[in-house]
Amino acid sequence: GAMLRHLTRKLRASGPVTVAEYMREALTNPGQGYYTRRGGVGESGDFITSPEISQVFGELIGIWYISEWMAMGKPSTFQLVELGPGRGTLTEDILRVFKQLASVLSKCDVSVHLVEVSPKLSEIQAAMLTGGKVQPNPEGESAYMKGVSKTGIPIFWYRDIQDVPPGYSFYLAHEFFDALPIHKFQRTEKGWREVLVDIDPEVPDQLRFVLSPSRTPATQNFIQAEETRDHVEVCPEAGVIVQRLASRIEKDGGAALVADYGHDGTKTDTFRGFRNHKLHDVLSAPGTADLTADVDFSYLRKMAQGRTATLGPIKQREFLKNMGIDLRLQVLLQNSGDTATREQLLHSYDMLMNPEKMGDCFNFFALLPHHRLVHPDKKDKPESKSPLPPVAGFNELLLK
Ligand code: SAH
Average pLDDT over residues 315-339: 96
Indicate whether residue 62 lines ligand 1 (CB < 6 A): no
Q: Which residues of 316-344 are buried (b: 16+ CB within 10 A; e: fewer)?
A: bbbbbbbbbbeebbeebeeeeeeeeeeee
Indicate whether residue 157 lines ligand 1 (CB < 6 A): no
* Amino acid 400: pLDDT: 55
* Amino acid 388: pLDDT: 87
Average pLDDT over residues 176-201: 97
Average pLDDT over residues 233-255: 98
Which residues have C-beta within 8 Å of that of residue 155, sequence separation ≥ 6? 111, 112, 113, 114, 129, 130, 134, 146, 147, 148, 149
Q: Is the pLDDT of residue 249 over 60?
A: yes
Name the residue range of residue 177's domain: 33-182+235-372
Indicate whether residue 358 lines ligand 1 (CB < 6 A): no
How many structural domains is the chain composed of?
Answer: 1
Task: Evaluate whether 198 touches 22 at the Cβ level (below 8 Å).
Answer: no
142 in a structural domain:
yes
* Amino acid 39: pLDDT: 66
Confidence grade of residue 297 (pLDDT, cut at 50, 70, 90): very high
* Amino acid 252: pLDDT: 98
Partnered with residue 363 across adjacent β-strands are 260, 315
Residue 28 corresponds to which amino acid?
A: T
Q: How far is the CA of 357 from the centre of ligand 1 (A)?
A: 22
Determine how many CB atoms are found less than 10 A away from the CB of residue 312: 22
Q: Is the pLDDT of residue 337 over 60?
A: yes
285 in a structural domain:
yes
Report d(CA 385, CA 373) in Å as an integer: 13
314 in a structural domain:
yes
Q: What is the pTM of this model?
A: 0.96
Indicate whether residue 93 lines ligand 1 (CB < 6 A): no
Name which residue sits closest to atom 5 of ligand 1, judged by CA. Answer: 86
DSSP H/E element including 218: helix 217-222
* Amino acid 20: pLDDT: 98
Which residues have C-beta within 8 Å of that of residue 374, sequence separation ≥ 6? 309, 388
* Amino acid 384: pLDDT: 57
Q: CATH code at 123?
A: 3.40.50.12710
Indicate whether residue 85 lines ligand 1 (CB < 6 A): yes
220 in a structural domain:
no
Per residue in 65-89, pLDDT (tens digit) is 999 999 999 999 999 999 999 999 9
* Amino acid 383: pLDDT: 59
Indicate whether residue 194 lines ligand 1 (CB < 6 A): no
* Amino acid 45: pLDDT: 82
Confidence grade of residue 264 (pLDDT, cut at 50, 70, 90): very high
Q: Is the pLDDT of residue 44 over 90?
A: no
